[in-house]
Amino acid sequence: MTHYVIIGFGCAGYYAAKTIRNNDPNGLISVYSEHSYAPYNPMLTTYYVSGKIPFEGLFPFGSLEDITKELNLDMHAECTVDKILADEKEIVLKTGEHVSYDKLLIATGASAFAPRFEGLDPQDAFYMRTIDDAIKLREALEQRTYKNALVVGASMVGIKVVELLNNRGIHTVFADMATRIFPLAAYPEISTEIEERISKKGIQLALGSALQKAEKTEDGYHCYMSDGSAIDVDLIVLCIGTRANTKVANPEEIKINRAFVVDHGMATSHPDIFAAGDCCEGTELQSQNTMIIGLWANAAHQGTTAGANMTGKPAEFDGNFLHNITHFMDMDFIGFGDNRLTGEVLTSGNIHDGLYVQAVIKDHQLVGVNILDNYRISVAIKNFLYQVMEKHTAEISPMQKGILIKEGLKPSFIEKLEGNFNV
Ligand SMILES: Cc1cc2nc3c(=O)[nH]c(=O)nc-3n(C[C@H](O)[C@H](O)[C@H](O)COP(=O)(O)OP(=O)(O)OC[C@H]3O[C@@H](n4cnc5c(N)ncnc54)[C@H](O)[C@@H]3O)c2cc1C
């Protein structure tokens, strides 16, 4: 009987366990999770804090008890894995116990990056990654009436936190050392438009301005910013980014860049050890480099692929590309592809009103798209871009063209998206 061990039970760990059980009804699947929650969806944490979904809504696959029974798992909740002894094919638990395995999956995800700021105890700041981060912020908001908040990190997570604080009537400063919002996903014109819209909602933007240090005051903090300004707030939320959880492994045994480097089958550099989800770098299709793609569906595909290969059923996941689909403050922002790539810029629609699309075409091929205010066209565009990146040639299907035209794109614009400029 094969002994499969999974470290971490989030999206990637769950899909791997499910696939292993489908392929090997008799194998022993031991799951080690550092907490006792069922696998949860971190992207729903801000909805829980804002009260839009109940606590149970965070768990898309049901309770831990039901999952354990359904997949017949050897479940070890609240059991942190301290290290992997790859050459010995063993893991070592925090308790010191050694456990041997035949096939190992590392699915440890990522943690909020919590740099030290002078005068701010990391325990006193708030973050938004884990369920415990969400519970802590929700309880704090229920227990105290905050008036002024500082959210650091103009990211997709940061904007969601800003939105929920603003909705509670808390005056919120949104700061980032980057000079514009969503610098890694949006084109500059789109960043400017989003900044204008959120400023109109009462958010104070402090872009090009990093938190440098904080001084405790009677009811909060006096924050010194890198542009020389200072802000008084009673709540600080740090959404500065995430770091892959890789410390369980020895980089001399398993290749780690910013995360565990994996091939198309999710195998790491060490035999019988796989990695999936936010703790790994799989293939990024556009650059053909390995890269962390911190997205839910990506973690699900990678977990499924790893699970299949662990049971000896060959499976490959070609890779993914950078994309964001997010809704906040009555607007949709969608960004596909590397926004640093330059080329012929195409636009459609009015940036201030209704559907607006900005696309970049390089060598007659679409390399990136931003969409404002229409998520309905995102699937058609994403599928098209995926095909372009995989096969270097693609056409938008007649059905998807129909959707794009119905939503307001002109046929001539669609032809140009396909790289045909003779229209
Ligand atoms: C606020 C927020 C918004 C997001 N929005 C989106 C979005 O709009 N769209 C999208 O696609 N994605 C979004 N994401 C990203 C998405 O949630 C992640 O990509 C996905 O959940 C990653 O799953 P995972 O299984 O790799 O990691 P995780 O869900 O982090 O699971 C890893 C698990 O491993 C456990 N673990 C770690 N170390 C150990 C150890 N040593 N021993 C035992 N257990 C361990 C952790 O406790 C954790 O439970 C968002 C994330 C956040 C936080």
Per-residue pLDDT of the chain (423 residues; tens, 9 = 90+): 999 999 999 999 999 999 999 999 999 999 999 999 999 999 999 999 999 999 999 999 999 999 999 999 999 999 999 999 999 999 999 999 999 999 999 999 999 988 889 999 988 999 999 999 999 999 999 999 999 999 999 889 999 999 999 999 999 999 999 999 999 999 999 999 999 999 999 999 999 999 999 999 999 999 999 999 999 999 999 999 899 999 999 999 999 999 999 999 999 999 999 999 999 999 999 989 999 999 999 999 999 999 999 999 999 999 999 899 999 999 999 999 999 999 999 999 999 998 999 999 998 899 999 999 999 999 999 999 999 988 877 789 999 999 999 999 999 999 999 887 655
Q: How many Å apart are CA 146 and CA 153, to the nearest integer?
A: 20
Please give the pLDDT value at position 422. 55
Task: Evaluate whether 314 touches 27 at the Cβ level (below 8 Å).
Answer: no
The sheet that has 289-291: what strands, in order across it? 260-261, 280-284, 289-291
Q: How many Å apart are CA 118 and CA 212, to the nearest integer?
A: 7
Tell the residue nearest (CA) to atom 2 of ligand 1. Answer: 43
Residue 172 is encoded by which pair of tokens?
């919120």
Please give the pLDDT value at position 421. 61
Q: How many Å apart are CA 361 and CA 232, to the nearest integer?
A: 45
Tell the residue nearest (CA) to atom 52 of ligand 1. Answer: 43
Residues pairing with 74 in the sheet: 30
Cα(357) to centroid(ligand 1), Å:
30
20 close to ligand 1 (CB < 6 Angstrom): no
299 close to ligand 1 (CB < 6 Angstrom): yes
Quickly list DSSP for 331-383: EEEEEES-TT--SEEEEEEETTEEEEEEEEEETTEEEEEEEES-STTHHHHHH
Please give the pLDDT value at position 112. 92
Atom nearest to 14 CA in ligand 1 = 25
